[in-house]
Structure 1
Amino acid sequence: MTPPDSTQSTLEHDPFVIGLKQRLPEELRDSFSDEQLRGLRSALATRSWARHKLDLRGTFSLWRTQYYFVVIGGRNKRNLSRAQEKLSMAAKAGAITLFLFFSALLGFVALYVLKSALGIDLLPNHSLGLWDWFKGNR
Protein backbone atom coordinates (compact mmCIF):
# COMPACT_ATOMS: atom_id res chain seq x y z
CA MET A 1 0.00 0.00 0.00
CA THR A 2 1.42 3.38 -0.98
CA PRO A 3 1.28 6.34 1.38
CA PRO A 4 -1.25 9.03 0.47
CA ASP A 5 0.10 11.66 -1.87
CA SER A 6 0.52 15.08 -0.26
CA THR A 7 -1.11 16.73 -3.30
CA GLN A 8 -4.12 14.45 -2.83
CA SER A 9 -4.64 15.65 0.74
CA THR A 10 -4.11 19.24 -0.38
CA LEU A 11 -6.76 18.87 -3.05
CA GLU A 12 -9.22 17.38 -0.56
CA HIS A 13 -8.88 20.47 1.65
CA ASP A 14 -8.66 23.03 -1.15
CA PRO A 15 -11.61 25.50 -0.85
CA PHE A 16 -11.98 25.72 -4.63
CA VAL A 17 -12.17 21.95 -5.06
CA ILE A 18 -14.59 21.61 -2.14
CA GLY A 19 -16.85 24.33 -3.57
CA LEU A 20 -16.65 22.85 -7.05
CA LYS A 21 -17.66 19.40 -5.83
CA GLN A 22 -20.55 20.85 -3.81
CA ARG A 23 -21.94 22.54 -6.92
CA LEU A 24 -21.57 19.49 -9.16
CA PRO A 25 -24.26 16.83 -9.49
CA GLU A 26 -23.62 13.94 -7.11
CA GLU A 27 -22.81 11.43 -9.87
CA LEU A 28 -19.97 13.67 -11.16
CA ARG A 29 -18.33 14.65 -7.86
CA ASP A 30 -15.82 11.80 -7.75
CA SER A 31 -15.33 11.41 -11.51
CA PHE A 32 -12.45 13.91 -11.80
CA SER A 33 -8.84 12.82 -11.52
CA ASP A 34 -6.42 14.82 -9.36
CA GLU A 35 -4.76 16.10 -12.51
CA GLN A 36 -8.11 17.37 -13.84
CA LEU A 37 -8.93 19.01 -10.50
CA ARG A 38 -5.53 20.75 -10.45
CA GLY A 39 -6.14 21.91 -14.02
CA LEU A 40 -9.58 23.28 -13.16
CA ARG A 41 -8.20 25.01 -10.08
CA SER A 42 -5.37 26.67 -11.99
CA ALA A 43 -7.70 27.74 -14.81
CA LEU A 44 -10.61 28.97 -12.72
CA ALA A 45 -9.49 29.64 -9.15
CA THR A 46 -6.60 32.01 -9.85
CA ARG A 47 -7.99 35.42 -10.55
CA SER A 48 -4.93 37.47 -11.48
CA TRP A 49 -7.20 39.58 -13.69
CA ALA A 50 -9.18 40.68 -10.65
CA ARG A 51 -6.46 42.61 -8.80
CA HIS A 52 -7.53 46.17 -8.17
CA LYS A 53 -5.81 49.22 -6.69
CA LEU A 54 -8.86 49.77 -4.51
CA ASP A 55 -10.32 46.55 -3.14
CA LEU A 56 -12.53 46.97 -0.09
CA ARG A 57 -14.64 44.00 0.98
CA GLY A 58 -16.52 43.39 4.17
CA THR A 59 -19.61 42.08 5.87
CA PHE A 60 -22.06 43.53 8.33
CA SER A 61 -25.10 42.26 10.20
CA LEU A 62 -28.44 44.00 10.14
CA TRP A 63 -30.92 42.40 12.51
CA ARG A 64 -30.63 38.66 11.84
CA THR A 65 -29.33 38.87 8.30
CA GLN A 66 -25.71 39.24 7.28
CA TYR A 67 -24.81 41.30 4.21
CA TYR A 68 -21.59 41.77 2.30
CA PHE A 69 -20.25 44.73 0.35
CA VAL A 70 -17.55 45.09 -2.27
CA VAL A 71 -15.99 48.33 -3.48
CA ILE A 72 -13.39 47.92 -6.19
CA GLY A 73 -11.68 50.38 -8.45
CA GLY A 74 -8.69 50.73 -10.66
CA ARG A 75 -7.49 51.62 -14.11
CA ASN A 76 -9.82 50.56 -16.90
CA LYS A 77 -7.77 48.37 -19.24
CA ARG A 78 -10.62 47.65 -21.63
CA ASN A 79 -10.91 49.40 -24.97
CA LEU A 80 -13.51 52.15 -25.03
CA SER A 81 -16.26 52.25 -27.61
CA ARG A 82 -16.50 55.27 -29.90
CA ALA A 83 -19.36 56.73 -27.86
CA GLN A 84 -17.38 56.23 -24.63
CA GLU A 85 -14.33 57.91 -26.17
CA LYS A 86 -16.44 60.92 -27.20
CA LEU A 87 -17.99 61.12 -23.74
CA SER A 88 -14.55 60.86 -22.14
CA MET A 89 -13.20 63.68 -24.32
CA ALA A 90 -16.24 65.85 -23.55
CA ALA A 91 -15.81 65.20 -19.81
CA LYS A 92 -12.11 66.10 -19.99
CA ALA A 93 -12.87 69.27 -21.96
CA GLY A 94 -15.58 70.22 -19.47
CA ALA A 95 -13.28 69.62 -16.49
CA ILE A 96 -10.49 71.70 -18.05
CA THR A 97 -12.94 74.50 -18.90
CA LEU A 98 -14.33 74.49 -15.37
CA PHE A 99 -10.84 74.53 -13.88
CA LEU A 100 -9.77 77.44 -16.09
CA PHE A 101 -12.97 79.37 -15.32
CA PHE A 102 -12.58 79.06 -11.54
CA SER A 103 -8.85 79.78 -11.76
CA ALA A 104 -9.55 82.97 -13.71
CA LEU A 105 -12.33 83.93 -11.29
CA LEU A 106 -10.03 83.39 -8.31
CA GLY A 107 -7.29 85.38 -10.06
CA PHE A 108 -9.67 88.30 -10.71
CA VAL A 109 -10.84 88.28 -7.09
CA ALA A 110 -7.22 88.26 -5.87
CA LEU A 111 -6.34 91.15 -8.20
CA TYR A 112 -9.42 93.10 -7.07
CA VAL A 113 -8.56 92.64 -3.39
CA LEU A 114 -4.92 93.63 -4.11
CA LYS A 115 -6.12 96.72 -6.04
CA SER A 116 -8.36 97.69 -3.14
CA ALA A 117 -5.56 97.12 -0.61
CA LEU A 118 -3.29 99.45 -2.57
CA GLY A 119 -6.02 102.09 -2.64
CA ILE A 120 -6.43 102.12 -6.43
CA ASP A 121 -9.93 103.23 -7.41
CA LEU A 122 -10.72 102.45 -11.08
CA LEU A 123 -14.43 103.32 -10.93
CA PRO A 124 -15.15 106.24 -8.56
CA ASN A 125 -18.08 105.71 -6.14
CA HIS A 126 -18.38 102.02 -7.09
CA SER A 127 -17.20 99.03 -5.07
CA LEU A 128 -17.98 95.33 -4.95
CA GLY A 129 -17.44 95.38 -1.19
CA LEU A 130 -14.87 92.57 -1.22
CA TRP A 131 -12.18 94.66 0.45
CA ASP A 132 -14.56 95.78 3.22
CA TRP A 133 -15.65 92.16 3.72
CA PHE A 134 -12.03 90.98 3.75
CA LYS A 135 -10.97 93.61 6.30
CA GLY A 136 -13.97 92.81 8.53
CA ASN A 137 -13.24 89.08 8.68
CA ARG A 138 -9.58 89.38 9.71
Structure 2
Amino acid sequence: MPASDSPANTQPMDLDPFVIGLKQRLPEELRESFTDEQLQGLRTAFATRSWARHKLDLRGTFSFWRTQYYYVLVAGRNKRDLTRGQKRLSMAAKAGAITLFLLFSLLLGLVMLYILKSALGINLLPNHSLGLWDWLKGSR
Protein backbone atom coordinates (compact mmCIF):
# COMPACT_ATOMS: atom_id res chain seq x y z
CA MET A 1 0.00 0.00 0.00
CA PRO A 2 1.58 3.35 -0.97
CA ALA A 3 2.12 5.93 1.73
CA SER A 4 -0.44 8.26 0.17
CA ASP A 5 -3.18 5.63 0.53
CA SER A 6 -2.72 5.01 4.25
CA PRO A 7 -5.54 6.08 6.58
CA ALA A 8 -3.38 8.74 8.24
CA ASN A 9 -3.03 10.59 4.92
CA THR A 10 -6.76 11.07 4.25
CA GLN A 11 -6.98 14.16 6.49
CA PRO A 12 -6.18 17.66 5.19
CA MET A 13 -2.51 18.59 5.39
CA ASP A 14 -3.26 21.49 7.79
CA LEU A 15 -4.58 18.97 10.36
CA ASP A 16 -1.74 16.47 9.98
CA PRO A 17 0.29 16.26 13.25
CA PHE A 18 3.59 15.97 11.36
CA VAL A 19 2.84 19.08 9.28
CA ILE A 20 1.71 21.04 12.35
CA GLY A 21 4.95 20.14 14.17
CA LEU A 22 7.05 20.94 11.11
CA LYS A 23 5.46 24.36 10.69
CA GLN A 24 5.96 25.16 14.38
CA ARG A 25 9.69 24.52 14.02
CA LEU A 26 10.10 26.50 10.78
CA PRO A 27 10.84 30.23 10.69
CA GLU A 28 7.62 32.25 10.38
CA GLU A 29 8.39 33.47 6.85
CA LEU A 30 8.64 29.87 5.56
CA ARG A 31 5.62 28.31 7.28
CA GLU A 32 3.10 28.94 4.49
CA SER A 33 5.50 28.71 1.54
CA PHE A 34 5.02 24.95 0.95
CA THR A 35 2.41 23.41 -1.31
CA ASP A 36 0.39 20.41 -0.14
CA GLU A 37 2.41 18.24 -2.50
CA GLN A 38 5.68 19.46 -0.98
CA LEU A 39 4.34 18.94 2.55
CA GLN A 40 3.27 15.42 1.61
CA GLY A 41 6.76 14.77 0.24
CA LEU A 42 8.38 16.07 3.44
CA ARG A 43 5.97 14.02 5.54
CA THR A 44 6.84 10.87 3.60
CA ALA A 45 10.58 11.55 3.78
CA PHE A 46 10.82 12.61 7.44
CA ALA A 47 7.89 11.05 9.26
CA THR A 48 9.05 9.13 12.35
CA ARG A 49 6.77 6.17 11.73
CA SER A 50 6.97 3.94 8.71
CA TRP A 51 3.98 1.65 8.52
CA ALA A 52 5.78 -1.20 6.85
CA ARG A 53 4.34 -4.68 6.71
CA HIS A 54 5.40 -6.95 9.54
CA LYS A 55 5.74 -10.73 9.64
CA LEU A 56 3.40 -10.79 12.63
CA ASP A 57 0.72 -8.10 12.88
CA LEU A 58 -2.19 -8.75 15.25
CA ARG A 59 -4.49 -5.85 16.09
CA GLY A 60 -7.91 -5.80 17.64
CA THR A 61 -10.26 -4.45 20.26
CA PHE A 62 -12.29 -5.97 23.04
CA SER A 63 -14.74 -4.73 25.64
CA PHE A 64 -14.28 -5.38 29.33
CA TRP A 65 -16.86 -4.10 31.76
CA ARG A 66 -17.89 -0.77 30.20
CA THR A 67 -14.55 0.13 28.69
CA GLN A 68 -13.14 -0.80 25.32
CA TYR A 69 -9.47 -1.75 25.02
CA TYR A 70 -7.21 -2.37 22.08
CA TYR A 71 -4.24 -4.66 21.62
CA VAL A 72 -1.39 -4.63 19.14
CA LEU A 73 1.21 -7.32 18.65
CA VAL A 74 3.73 -6.50 15.95
CA ALA A 75 6.95 -8.37 15.26
CA GLY A 76 9.45 -8.48 12.47
CA ARG A 77 13.08 -8.00 11.62
CA ASN A 78 14.65 -4.98 13.31
CA LYS A 79 16.24 -2.83 10.61
CA ARG A 80 17.28 -0.03 12.94
CA ASP A 81 20.78 0.38 14.36
CA LEU A 82 21.12 -0.59 18.01
CA THR A 83 22.18 1.99 20.58
CA ARG A 84 25.36 1.43 22.55
CA GLY A 85 23.35 0.25 25.57
CA GLN A 86 21.31 -2.16 23.45
CA LYS A 87 24.50 -3.55 21.90
CA ARG A 88 25.98 -4.14 25.37
CA LEU A 89 22.77 -5.80 26.55
CA SER A 90 22.69 -7.97 23.43
CA MET A 91 26.30 -9.06 23.95
CA ALA A 92 25.62 -9.80 27.64
CA ALA A 93 22.55 -11.88 26.72
CA LYS A 94 24.54 -13.82 24.11
CA ALA A 95 27.39 -14.40 26.59
CA GLY A 96 24.87 -15.55 29.22
CA ALA A 97 23.17 -17.94 26.81
CA ILE A 98 26.50 -19.42 25.70
CA THR A 99 27.61 -19.79 29.33
CA LEU A 100 24.37 -21.54 30.28
CA PHE A 101 24.66 -23.84 27.27
CA LEU A 102 28.26 -24.74 28.12
CA LEU A 103 27.43 -25.36 31.80
CA PHE A 104 24.48 -27.56 30.85
CA SER A 105 26.63 -29.45 28.34
CA LEU A 106 29.36 -29.94 30.95
CA LEU A 107 26.87 -31.19 33.53
CA LEU A 108 25.27 -33.55 31.02
CA GLY A 109 28.71 -34.84 29.97
CA LEU A 110 29.71 -35.46 33.59
CA VAL A 111 26.48 -37.36 34.26
CA MET A 112 27.02 -39.47 31.14
CA LEU A 113 30.62 -40.23 32.22
CA TYR A 114 29.41 -41.16 35.70
CA ILE A 115 26.79 -43.53 34.25
CA LEU A 116 29.42 -45.08 31.92
CA LYS A 117 31.83 -45.48 34.84
CA SER A 118 29.14 -47.13 36.90
CA ALA A 119 28.08 -49.41 34.03
CA LEU A 120 31.68 -50.59 33.60
CA GLY A 121 31.92 -51.32 37.34
CA ILE A 122 34.65 -48.78 37.99
CA ASN A 123 34.55 -47.60 41.61
CA LEU A 124 36.72 -44.51 42.20
CA LEU A 125 35.64 -43.95 45.82
CA PRO A 126 35.03 -47.18 47.80
CA ASN A 127 31.71 -47.30 49.70
CA HIS A 128 30.49 -44.08 48.07
CA SER A 129 27.87 -43.69 45.32
CA LEU A 130 25.49 -41.02 44.09
CA GLY A 131 22.88 -43.72 43.53
CA LEU A 132 22.24 -42.67 39.95
CA TRP A 133 23.29 -46.04 38.48
CA ASP A 134 21.18 -47.95 41.01
CA TRP A 135 18.21 -45.71 40.22
CA LEU A 136 18.63 -46.28 36.46
CA LYS A 137 18.94 -50.06 36.89
CA GLY A 138 15.84 -50.15 39.12
CA SER A 139 13.67 -48.09 36.75
CA ARG A 140 13.61 -50.80 34.06
TM over 0.5: yes
Aligned positions of 1:95-134 closer than 5 A:
95-134=97-136
From the superposition, tell whether residues 134 and 58 of structure 1 become closer, same or farther in structure 2 (CA, over 3 Å).
farther
- Give distance in 2, aligned partners of 1:118 and 1:58: 62
CA apart distance, 1:88:
1.6
- Give distance in 2, aligned partners of 1:77 and 1:133: 52
CA offsets 1:107-133 (integer angstroms, 9 cap, x no match): 111121222223222221111111122
The total of aligned residue pairs comes to: 111
In structure 2, stretches of 5+ residues that fail to align are 1-5, 16-35
From the superposition, tell whether residues 137 and 71 of structure 1 become closer, same or farther in structure 2 (CA, over 3 Å).
farther
Match of 2:80 in 1: 78
Query: Equivalent pairs: percent with the same residue?
Result: 70
Q: TM-score, normalised by structure 2?
A: 0.60
Aligned positions of 1:1-138 closer than 5 A:
20=11, 24=15, 40=40, 43=44, 49-138=51-140
- Any idea what SS the aligned residue of 2:54 has? coil
- Give distance in 2, aligned partners of 1:81 and 1:88: 10
CA apart distance, 1:50:
2.8
In structure 1, stretches of 5+ residues that fail to align are 1-13, 25-35
- Any idea what SS the aligned residue of 1:105 has? helix
What is the identity, as a one-letter code, of the residue corresponding to 1:51? R
